Chains A and B, each alone.
Chain A
Amino acid sequence: MYEGAVQDLIDELGRLPGIGPKSAQRVAFHILEADGEDMKRLADAITTVKEKVKFCAICFNVSEENTCRICQDSRRDPSLLCVVEESKDVMAIERTRSFRGKYHVLGGSINPIAGIGPDQLHIRELLSRLSDDTITEVIVATDPNLEGEATATYLYRMLGSIGIKLTRLASGLPVGGDLEYADDVTLGRAFEGRTVMS
């Protein structure tokens, strides 16, 4: 145990995701040894992000204003809505530059054992957004893992009857990999989602 401020810093760093006691100690000592101005910038950045950044009132993406830049952008196609789990998924899709619609961030995925059900996600707000006729297609882009698939199944159950086109991102073999190393679930998905070449 260290004394006072150093131990406080280690304890606080240790509460961050993915940082155990050893890593917390290493980061704390890096902060102690680093340039004071650099660490002041880090502290300011943390303070600023907590003061300024909030969630968009429409899509729940992170934003410094009441509505995010994507929701404000009139050049985007309002008829397409991509449903993702987290804000970082919006960034991943934006990097592809192939989607020009809008987003809805659920804030996670359905995980019953962790106590996360539909009521803990922004699904009710999604249904509200679909109540007018502007949106014609909802693209479900939840993670291709079990919780993501379960969330997609639940969304299909909720949205399947309201007449909006509901699509799911394709999944299959990663580009650059060898077929022999593919696991059977992924390979099975690739077969189900095969496309016509001619």
Chain B
Amino acid sequence: MRKTTSDALSADRRSFLSAGAVGVAALLAPSQAKAADAGEDTLDKIKSSGVFNIGVREAAPPYGFKDASGEYRGFATDIGKAIYDAVNQELGGAIKANYVAVTSQTRIPLLQNGAIDLEAGATVMTIGRSKVVDFSIPHFVTSTSLLVLASSPIKVAADMAGKRIGIPQGGLEAALFRTANEAGTFTSAVKTIGFPDHSQGVTALQTGTIDGYSSDEPILYDVGRDPSQFRIVPMKMNAATQTLLVRPGSSKFKRIVDQTIARLCGTGEWEKLYQRYFGEGGFKMPLPEAGKVLVQMNSWPA
């Protein structure tokens, strides 16, 4: 009896320890993996495969969304379509467009493994991110704002001191508030709570679980359209330049991407897109000064 018990125990122990060893090995395996096509210019990849895989957002209006008929649309998606046209023209007109829905979590792995050749979304440029991917010239500029209930005592950014402020998960708002709290911008630290999507943040605001919801200004205009319920407080704490993502080492491809954005800005197409998604055709957000400057800077002479 005694012997059997100790035998069973050591057998259990052995299988238990080997389970751990296998797990560790499995975890380290992906670190040996290399990008599928490192070194190949994306333009050459598109040429040889005949397909241009465009990463677009499915649920990030007005930048990218799926409309009622199931078609991908949006400000950044439409810029992606213009880039497809330019690439298709460059390569002789036989290239197929393939739209792939991406999220803020999947965009980088998919770009790295070649599943998408371009991410046409609303990605903010940061120095840290520039170590991993290449950026196009900026296609949009925005800033972080605050949405509060119409009855809220928060009138200016400084009133956020000590309050509970919701932010979107996976955005750069967390870093913005962290830096401001460390620098003592507010008289008492702002507590941030990250929500998986904007609608949950707005629900939390309506139920009184948070005092404000902070995000990209156009998104707040979109979710907070009802002025009898909501008010937008400008924070004036940052400027976020947004970019399309390109695989590193693809200068031929990146050149077409940049030229397309410059052409859209120079020909007035950019402002038409703005009006369609943000302005008259959307939620009537006036074109900010920074946006006008961006268009001027991107309007390269022929």
A joins B in a complex: no
A residues with CB within 8 A of B: none
